[in-house]
Amino acid sequence: MKLDVEALLQDKDLASNYSVAIANAFIILGDLQYNEEVAWFAIRDTTVSTAKKIVQPKWLQHCPWLSEEALSILDKKKAARMKGDDAERHKLKGMFIVHGESEA
């Protein structure tokens, strides 16, 4: 899960809330009198868990797998299949394969 870190740069109230929360978390954490590796994990875990409480997740936009043109060809091919028009269906199937190869 990715967090919307950009929001911290754009929203001053959110950034302020995060700053207070992270400061409080490190006060609770206390002195890090561990070895370096344990201290690093404590800092990392505290920072990430605090961020997850304050900053919203960033939702990624997914691109469609097929273009509108490809979907249109598939719809026409389906209609031809439903009508029993094998010649049209095979023509459209060929268009789809050539179309897919030309974009790759």
> Domain residue spans in the chain?
5-54, 68-103
Contact 100, 74 (CB under 8 A): no
The token pair at 20 is 């207070």
Residue type at 43? I
Instruction: Give the residue-averaged pLDDT of 7-17.
Output: 91
Share of the chain above pLDDT 90, in %: 25
Radius of gyration of the CA atoms of the chain, in A = 27
Query: How does 7-29 read in b/e, with b if 16+ C-beta sit within 10 Å?
Result: ebeeeeebeeebeebeeebeeee
What residues form DSSP beta bridges with 104? none
Instruction: Give the residue-averaged pLDDT of 65-80.
Output: 86
CA distance 61 to 6: 16
pLDDT above 90 (res 3): no
Residue type at 35? N
For the entire predicted model, the pTM comes to: 0.51
pLDDT tens digits, residue range 74-99? 899 999 999 999 998 888 888 766 54
